Chains A and B, each alone.
Chain A
Amino acid sequence: MRQRFSCFLFLAFITAVHSSDYVFENDFESFEKPQSDADIARFLTQASFGPTPATVGNFGNQTYAEWIDQQFSLTPTLHRPALESISLNRGINGKISGEQRAGLWNKIAITAEDQLRQRMAFALSEIFVVSDQNKFLEIRQTLVAEYYDLLVRGAFGNYRDLLEQVTRSPAMGYYLSHLRNRKKELVAPTTDTYVTPDENFAREVMQLFSIGLFEVEQDLSFIDGDPAQSGIQPIETYDQNIITNLSRVMTGFGLQCNGPEVITNGTVSVNMPGRDCKAGPETECEGVHCNFSFAFFGGPVPLPNANYNGLYHPDIYRPMMCFPRFHDIGRDDNGNPNQVRPSSAPYAEEPYRDKRVIGFIPNEGSGPLPMYGDECNSLYNLPSPTDTQLQKMQACVDYCDGELSQVLDALFHHPNTPPVIARQLIQRFVTSNPSPAYIKKIAGVFIDNGSGVRGDLGAVIKAILLHHDARGKRFKLDSYFGKLKEPMLKVMQFYRAMETVTSDPEQIAWGPYKTLNTTTAFGQRALSADSVFNFFTPDYKKSGTLSNENLNSPEFQILTDNTVISGQNTFYRLACTGYGFLSNNPPYRYSTCDGLGPTLPFGFHPPERAGYIPEDVLYGLPDDFEAMVEELNIRLLYGEMSGTFNPPTGMKGIFKNRIEGPTSGYDKRQIALTLINLILASPEYAAQK
């Protein structure tokens, strides 16, 4: 991809140098440390849910790298326990809705200390997508929160571990339907109806979570499959056969079965009944015996009288385990597809063909495994297995787990995975159109974190944020650098920058959701995308200038003619909440930043529910108009507001002309709110440079 600069002179210059990165690498300024509050604020706009006066003020003399390391060390703020705790404290019938989960998400994004981790989890949630728009997850919001916690915990861990946790997550199992996915077999001996493995997860784990559709170089450019032909002929990374075979690996995974448990949160505890885990009079199983129970088909029982969407037996949060009875261990493709591979049959040979996934066979070359073929079938659901039987059961489970492990290893080590993941993470944090060199650099860190470790996500995010394209002056020179802010970042940044609070105890617990439905206002809410393809795809190109220039602009996909307007209407409300002109006292007139002249006094009354900007914050802004604008400029626009006051040009000039004079003598709070509203609504705030 060629580099694009707004200035023709620059374009010529860059073309001559060929690689723009050369320019920035040799920039004599050091980017290790911020030089100003604006530098800090811009860094924190990328690396957190937005700067606050405190996080800017406390940055001190740190390098960027030191700040990141410090963030790595913070205790993860988890979502599910907080959600459960609220439900528990409300009593046994405490329902949890998607809006409540999202409200808590807002609260954590606004207030948590482990900002980089939360931000990374959000980015990962837009790659490993699970959505509560799914009918099963809609009524299991604690499971959705637990999935998010999985991403929070794994944010700086290893991609390979995360991929396995995601794969085994019941939330993902529900979402991409590999939970209770079964090998091909007759539904019952008396019928001629077959079940066939579900291909959903098998496809998306490759297309979206790892290798992508086409073979790419480390800078994400397509590898040409046929240089003799004109143009690039992309090579598909997999075909339908590979999907089918991978879907066979992804069989036999069900929810754990651990008997009754007590869940405790704070001072409250609740008994969670177990479900039947084994045949015979006793219901509880132990060890590998559980993997051979009919619990495969069941799921945790909801609490009695709990309305199905409050709390769950913890089995629903635990990694899915293999039930070998339903796992594909090779079958006769030609004769009788219901015939599983007998113990005596050679492995990976016709007719009991095993799976071939991405050019390798799990266990190929190691010869026949100590497998028990049809016994993995027949040991199912025994009341009291013998020790020998238990050993065989373990071998069957090991085979199943080992096979999954090898497939995930193959995806992890595929050359596509580093650049595919690197590009998307850069897009979420820094810029929609990273240079090939930037992608390649980050892919390189994915391959080796410097200590020979592949897949270190902590090292990857650190390298993304410290890269000279992210930290240097590129954003001042390259008009195509940066991205449209996605709505959740845009809104959270405001809440943090203006130190919003709420006086409502409910909101203190749940977060400011009651008056802010971000789905309605902006078309986005964490873990609530329309499909596994996320709210937007990495390659979406807004029609016109961007598509003509072949530039990606993912976030524009959900900026419709409707959300752009509802968003603006909402920003007015967010800025002005709690403030307005006091008419008869009461009632008050609230939510207006505009002047009605001296006839009615401007005033403040804490709103019942919504988050609002405290009066102290407004009073604490500088009295001088220009100084006030500059302070807001740092808080909301990392000092990048365009123009000058004198002569009046750009955004500053507009404020000078339109606000300063006409509002002279107005209540200071009102002037500040007007400016805040306008900044939130502005084209400059809409983008992150």
Chain B
Amino acid sequence: MKKINKQHRRDFLKKLGYSFAAGSAASVMPQLNFLGHAMAAQSRQFTDYKAIVRLELNGGCDSYSMLMPRDSTSPGSRFDTYFNSRGGAYTNGIGVGYDFADTLPVSATGMNAGNYGLNPEFKDRPHNNGPIPTPGIQSLYNNGELAFLANVGSLIEPINKHELENELKPIPKARFSHVDQQFMWRTGGSSDRALGWGASLIGEILDNGVDNSIFPACFSMVYNSLFNDSLIPGTSFPVPSYTLGSTGANQLSNYSGTTPRNLALNDLFNEDSFNVFSQEYKKSFNQAKDYANDINSLLSQGAGSTAPGDGWGRINVPYQTTGAFDPINNQYPNAEVTVEGVDYTNTLLRQIQTIARMIKVSRNPATGINAKRQVYTITLPNFDTHFNQMQGNNFFLKMASLSQAIGYFSEAMKEIGAEDEVTLFTSSDFARTLSPNGTGTDHAWGGMQFVMGGAVNGGKVYGRYPNLELNADNNSEKDWSFARGQYIPTTSIDQMMATIAKWMGADNTHLDIIFPNLGNFNTSDLGFMI
């Protein structure tokens, strides 16, 4: 097995010490700062491994379809309120609610005590090749590995409806805009810092954000993510991060060996460019090329060559749904889409398998990586279900692939003994309106998230589960919504993320830097991490 030695680490640091744009005075000082920082005493050395996996449900997940009240169907019950706000069940052609009997029963004790229903797709699923079903979110919750957080959203400080309507307190800008709300979740809640909190966390708790590894400590799947963009403290150098492909790192081919062409290519990418965009392209290429070699050499051999749980063959989700809907008044003669018998490929599962492999090699002493802290971010896209939410837009398939991928990941982490070391959590732009707009839902504000892992104090619902009324205004229950059920969050993004960051090893000083508005809230630890 290839062992990565200290020389690699030094090479890696050299990679970080980018040569800078010719004559650019601005980048000279940071270079010096960086070197100073790199030589500073290593004040923090972790001996254990921990990682967080942030799962972004991109587009604004209708998260009140993940966890719903399920007390009783009698008028005035919490379920009844929910069901009315959602316009009934989708079988009426308009509604976006789930029938009482269709949701999967779970219960919560303590805060938010009561009976709840989970999305019907959160059930256990058989897999193609093996007797043990993949646990669904229902099982993970019942097993105490998964906790929900209710009504989380972007806030600057706690605010009620009266204060909001009279502009008595600051609120985040552009609350219902995708990119702006994604910005909040990626940067650390409600701050104006254009720095990703994942990379900031790594930058704060690890020296130079590179740990003891040849790897960057921050990874995103497929998309570049602001979550992984930050600066090494005291420098203007980015915390190193890497964007993985679905199944690993793309490696340079067709340019190897010592042909004149390849030698010239090497020279071209050692030369500084006058134009900053050329120069930055050069950096991108060099980083990608070097990391890809390192990552692939590890993933292609021994410990990394198989994902935990490989051979279970659980990529495809054969799925059946009911046929075309038949709306009231029979006014939809041509149903737009009927999804029947789709053999749906769960790309989320495939991508999360790659993360499982990365974790497997990163914490395995035999590979010599010896990573101590890592952050991962992965995206499940297309949650912007304005239209045909319950049918053509395949919200149910997203819920199914989400549940299946999470269940797989839980099993995979147990298989490698990392279940207490890795915590997965969701984030999403915003929740969606409780009331439907015809066949879909629009942008709202506070919503549900969940956290999963062995270190999670699970089987509970944290925060304040709202009453799910339209136009609620109840100060004693802190229950405030607008005409279509857009809920004012009662827990801030900062509080949720700070609780996770603290588990990763951030102290109060770090937290105040990463989440500048944290002090506006009554607690920075919501208690869901053990």
Asked if A299 is at the interface (CB within 8 A of a chain B CB), the reply is yes
- Which residues of chain A (630-683) have a CB below 8 Å from chain B? 642, 650-651, 654-655, 657-659, 662-663, 674, 677-678, 681-683
Asked if A230 is at the interface (CB within 8 A of a chain B CB), the reply is no
A544 near B393 with CB under 8 A, answer: no
Chain B nearest Cβ from A256, distance in angstroms: 15
A275 cross-chain contacts in B, Cβ below 8 A: 333-334
Which has the most chain A C-beta neighbours within 10 Å: B285, B332, B433?
B285
A234 near B331 with CB under 8 A, answer: no
A545 near B285 with CB under 8 A, answer: no
Q: For B178, give its contact among A8, A531, A541, A560 (CB under 8 Å).
A: A531
A199 cross-chain contacts in B, Cβ below 8 A: 386, 437, 442-443
B433 cross-chain contacts in A, Cβ below 8 A: 196
A264 cross-chain contacts in B, Cβ below 8 A: none
Indicate whether A484 sits within 8 Å of B277 (C-beta atoms), given known contacts A544-B283, A561-B287, A569-B252: yes
Chain B nearest Cβ from A674, distance in angstroms: 5
Interface residues on A, range: 35 or more
Q: For B268, give its contact among A196, A531, A683 (CB under 8 Å).
A: A683
Binds A, one of B17-25, B49-57, B154-162, B343-351: B17-25
In the complex, A569 Cα to B281 Cα: how many Å?
15
B254 near A569 with CB under 8 A, answer: yes
In the complex, A418 Cα to B57 Cα: how many Å?
34
Chain A nearest Cβ from B471, distance in angstroms: 12
> CB-defined interface of B238-281 with A at 8 Å, one 1/0 digit per residue?
10011111000111111101011111110111010111111111
Asked if A689 is at the interface (CB within 8 A of a chain B CB), the reply is yes
A198 near B437 with CB under 8 A, answer: yes
A479 near B274 with CB under 8 A, answer: yes
A294 cross-chain contacts in B, Cβ below 8 A: 331
Binds A, one of B85-93, B125-133, B141-149, B404-412: B85-93
A545 near B276 with CB under 8 A, answer: yes
Chain B nearest Cβ from A327, distance in angstroms: 14
In the complex, A657 Cα to B263 Cα: how many Å?
10
Asked if A551 is at the interface (CB within 8 A of a chain B CB), the reply is yes
Asked if B480 is at the interface (CB within 8 A of a chain A CB), the reply is no
Q: For A658, give its contact among B59, B267, B277 (CB under 8 Å).
A: B267
In the complex, A276 Cα to B330 Cα: how many Å?
14
- Which residues of chain A (187-243) have a CB below 8 Å from chain B? 187-188, 191-200, 203, 207, 213-214, 234, 236, 240, 243
B244 near A562 with CB under 8 A, answer: yes
In the complex, A57 Cα to B25 Cα: how many Å?
42
Indicate whether A481 sits within 8 Å of B275 (C-beta atoms), given known contacts A213-B177, A556-B280, A573-B254: yes
Asked if A7 is at the interface (CB within 8 A of a chain B CB), the reply is yes
A594 cross-chain contacts in B, Cβ below 8 A: 257, 259-262
In the complex, A200 Cα to B26 Cα: how many Å?
43
Binds B, one of A31-39, A101-109, A174-182: A174-182
A564 cross-chain contacts in B, Cβ below 8 A: 281, 284-285, 288
Asked if A572 is at the interface (CB within 8 A of a chain B CB), the reply is yes
Asked if A17 is at the interface (CB within 8 A of a chain B CB), the reply is no
Indicate whether A176 sits within 8 Å of B278 (C-beta atoms), given known contacts A207-B177, A650-B271: no
Chain A nearest Cβ from B235, distance in angstroms: 10
Q: For B244, give its contact among A194, A551, A561 (CB under 8 Å).
A: A561
Binds A, one of B67-75, B221-229, B363-371, B511-519: B221-229
Asked if A482 is at the interface (CB within 8 A of a chain B CB), the reply is yes
Q: For A683, give its contact among B222, B252, B281, B443 (CB under 8 Å).
A: B281
A196 near B437 with CB under 8 A, answer: yes
Chain A nearest Cβ from B225, distance in angstroms: 10
A483 cross-chain contacts in B, Cβ below 8 A: 277
B285 near A135 with CB under 8 A, answer: no
B21 near A479 with CB under 8 A, answer: yes
A481 cross-chain contacts in B, Cβ below 8 A: 275
Q: Across the two chains, which residue of chain A brings its CB closest to B329?
A: A188
- Which residues of chain A (542-592) have a CB below 8 Å from chain B? 542-549, 551, 553, 556-566, 568-569, 572-573
Asked if B352 is at the interface (CB within 8 A of a chain A CB), the reply is no
> CB-defined interface of A304-315 with B at 8 Å, one 1/0 digit per residue?
000000000000
Asked if A446 is at the interface (CB within 8 A of a chain B CB), the reply is no
- Which residues of chain B (287-334) have a CB below 8 Å from chain A? 287-289, 291-292, 327-329, 331-334
B276 near A479 with CB under 8 A, answer: yes
- Which residues of chain A (272-325) have a CB below 8 Å from chain B? 275-276, 294, 297-299, 301
In the complex, A541 Cα to B231 Cα: how many Å?
13
Chain A nearest Cβ from B374, distance in angstroms: 16
B21 near A562 with CB under 8 A, answer: no
B178 near A561 with CB under 8 A, answer: no
Asked if B387 is at the interface (CB within 8 A of a chain A CB), the reply is yes
B438 near A547 with CB under 8 A, answer: no
B436 near A200 with CB under 8 A, answer: no
Q: For B273, give its contact among A198, A207, A683 (CB under 8 Å).
A: A683
Asked if A97 is at the interface (CB within 8 A of a chain B CB), the reply is no
In the complex, A299 Cα to B163 Cα: how many Å?
46
Indicate whether A678 sits within 8 Å of B22 (C-beta atoms), given known contacts A176-B386, A234-B173, A594-B259: no
Q: For A568, give its contact among B255, B276, B279 (CB under 8 Å).
A: B255
Chain B nearest Cβ from A570, distance in angstroms: 9
B277 near A561 with CB under 8 A, answer: no
A484 near B26 with CB under 8 A, answer: no
In the complex, A537 Cα to B186 Cα: how many Å?
16
In the complex, A199 Cα to B430 Cα: how many Å?
15
Asked if B95 is at the interface (CB within 8 A of a chain A CB), the reply is yes
Give me the interface of A with B, judged by CB distance under 8 Å. 6-8, 11, 133, 135-136, 176-177, 180-182, 187-188, 191-200, 203, 207, 213-214, 234, 236, 240, 243-244, 247, 275-276, 294, 297-299, 301, 432, 475, 479-484, 530-531, 533, 537, 541-549, 551, 553, 556-566, 568-569, 572-573, 593-595, 642, 650-651, 654-655, 657-659, 662-663, 674, 677-678, 681-684, 686-689
24 inter-chain pairs at a CB distance below 8 angstroms, sorted by A residue, are A6-B21, A6-B24, A11-B25, A180-B438, A188-B328, A191-B88, A193-B88, A195-B438, A240-B176, A247-B442, A297-B333, A483-B277, A533-B179, A547-B229, A556-B280, A559-B284, A561-B250, A659-B260, A659-B264, A663-B260, A674-B264, A678-B268, A683-B278, A683-B279
Known: A200-B386, A545-B24. 20 other contacts (CB 8 A): A135-B337, A176-B386, A177-B440, A193-B92, A193-B436, A198-B437, A297-B332, A297-B334, A545-B21, A547-B238, A561-B242, A562-B244, A562-B288, A569-B255, A642-B271, A642-B273, A658-B263, A674-B261, A684-B273, A687-B277
Give me the interface of B with A, judged by CB distance under 8 Å. 18, 20-27, 30, 59, 84, 87-88, 92-95, 173-180, 194, 222-224, 229-231, 236-238, 241-245, 249-255, 257, 259-265, 267-269, 271, 273-285, 287-289, 291-292, 327-329, 331-334, 336-337, 381-382, 384, 386-387, 392-394, 433, 435-438, 440, 442-443, 482-484, 486
